[in-house]
Amino acid sequence: MCTRVLWPDANGTVIVGRNMDFHMDLLTNLWKMPRGVERKDGANNKLVWKAKYGSVIATAFDLIATDGMNEEGFAGHILWLAESDYGQPKESDVQLSQAVWLQYYLDNFATVAEAVEWTNSADVKVSQLFDPTGHLVPTLHLAINDASGDSAIIEYVGGEVQVYHNRDYKVMTNSPTFDKQLELVKQIEGLGGDKPLPGSTLAADRFARASYYVEHQVQPQTQLQAMAAMFSIIRNAAQPFRTPEPGKPDASQTIWQVVADLTNKRYAFESTTRPNIIWVDFEKLSFTEGSKILKLDLIGELALEGGLSGDVSHKFSDAGELGMGLVSTGIEALEFVARKKDEFAEIAKLLKSLGQGTAQGTK
């Protein structure tokens, strides 16, 4: 699921792109989040904060921030990592629900260095969401980057946080873990080895192609050229529509793509099912504390004909009290189920055993 590519030296600008790969439509919309929004961690409510920076985010089901950039040019990207193991957080631990993991970073940090320092010093734990219907439980890792071109990858393995911090870390995909990806890519011609550039949709192959092409770019003369070049790179790492592979959301088609200019604060979005490119210029938005949370409806308005296209900075609208109430209730429900996951697991186990008993009794 997904590929993220950072180009930190695009002729004086920092450009980042990402593919969202998933086996189903995430009903993604864009949201404008102003400064001053009060939030809580969604886990044990020991961490409460007020947004220091405004941001634009791309959501899943209007509930989870999956990608975004704040007004300082700090951006973050949630991707799938099957090897993620968050451990069992203690009640005393600093925790963040997966639903607000990315949003916390966008709300609070202007630079990667600040974010990394807090992650390490707070020893923050991630509270995993839980799906009682028996579908996939999210296993995620986080890439962050800023307007200086700095970069970090945050993963959880064996219950412990692993932070890879270096502006040379330009690419992140999925399995295996980031340290192993760095070793695998050294085998590729042009990146240290002699193996030909691979062409499959496997995460390691996408990692290699994205790494190769971002290292072999002609310096752009304009922002348009820089963003077009990044779109070309992430399209090369995109995955075509195909029959989903059971239990492997990372082996899924690309459903949308983002390219962001962290220097000039432009955030561009393209859906692969409603393919009009749109963009948001931050200078045209108000992130002032007290201003409204606004939504850009991509599901209803991003049509192939007659829908949104081009600059949509002024197309955001107030979701209203009812809309915000539904979002808040949905997030709270997700997090409640996550906190009660052990109880739900026992109920599911009991129901399964009862079902097996009934089936045997009818034989």
Tokens 């799938």 belong to which residue? 80
Percentage of the chain modeled with pLDDT above 90: 67
> Cα torsion at 84, 166, 10, 231 (round to 10°)?
-10
Q: What angle do CA 169, 154, 257 make, to 5 degrees?
A: 70
**What whole-number distance in Å separates Cα of residue 53 and Cα of residue 118?**
16
Highest mean pLDDT among 131-145, 188-202, 248-262, 298-312: 188-202
Percentage of the chain modeled with pLDDT above 70: 82
Q: Which of 1, 2, 251, 331 is catalytic?
A: 2
Q: Are 246 and 78 in contact (CB under 8 A)?
A: no
**What whole-number distance in Å separates Cα of residue 267 and Cα of residue 278?**
8
Highest mean pLDDT among 179-183, 325-329, 356-360: 179-183
Confidence of residue 163 (pLDDT cuts 50, 70, 90): very high
Confidence of residue 294 (pLDDT cuts 50, 70, 90): very high
pLDDT for the residue 187: 95
What sign has the CA pseudo-torsion 104, 107, 108, 112? positive
Higher pLDDT, 303 or 25: 25
pLDDT tops 90 at residue 225: yes
What is the arithmetic mean of pLDDT over 164-173? Answer: 97
The pair of three-digit structure tokens given for residue 217, joined into one six-digit string:
């770019």
Containing 18, the helix (H) or strand (E) segment is: strand 13-21
pLDDT tops 60 at residue 236: yes
DSSP state of 193: B
**What whole-number distance in Å separates Cα of residue 220 and Cα of residue 14?**
12
Q: Is 144 helix (H, G, I), strand (E, B) or coil?
A: strand
pLDDT tops 50 at residue 306: yes
**What whole-number distance in Å separates Cα of residue 243 and Cα of residue 342?**
33
pLDDT tops 80 at residue 349: no
Confidence of residue 324 (pLDDT cuts 50, 70, 90): low
What sign has the CA pseudo-torsion 126, 139, 170, 66? negative
Type of residue numbered 157: V
What sign has the CA pseudo-torsion 225, 164, 51, 104? positive
Q: Is 70 helix (H, G, I), strand (E, B) or coil?
A: strand
pLDDT for the residue 132: 46
What is the arithmetic mean of pLDDT over 37-47? Answer: 89
pLDDT tops 60 at residue 292: yes
Higher pLDDT, 161 or 90: 161
H helices present in 288-340, as ranges:
298-301, 320-339
pLDDT for the residue 220: 96
- The mean-pLDDT minimum among 45-49, 88-92, 205-209, 255-259 falls in 88-92
DSSP state of 66: E
- The mean-pLDDT minimum among 68-72, 134-138, 217-221, 241-245 falls in 134-138
The closest of 197, 253, 210, 229 to 3, measured between CA atoms, is 210
Q: Are 273 and 39 in contact (CB under 8 A)?
A: no
pLDDT for the residue 55: 97
Confidence of residue 353 (pLDDT cuts 50, 70, 90): low
In this prediction the pTM is: 0.88
pLDDT for the residue 23: 84
What is the arithmetic mean of pLDDT over 201-212? Answer: 96
Cβ-based neighbours of 18, under 8 Å, separated by 6 or more: 2, 3, 4, 5, 67, 77, 79, 234, 257, 258
Higher pLDDT, 131 or 96: 96
What is the arithmetic mean of pLDDT over 49-69? Answer: 94
**Residue 274 annotated to the active site:** no
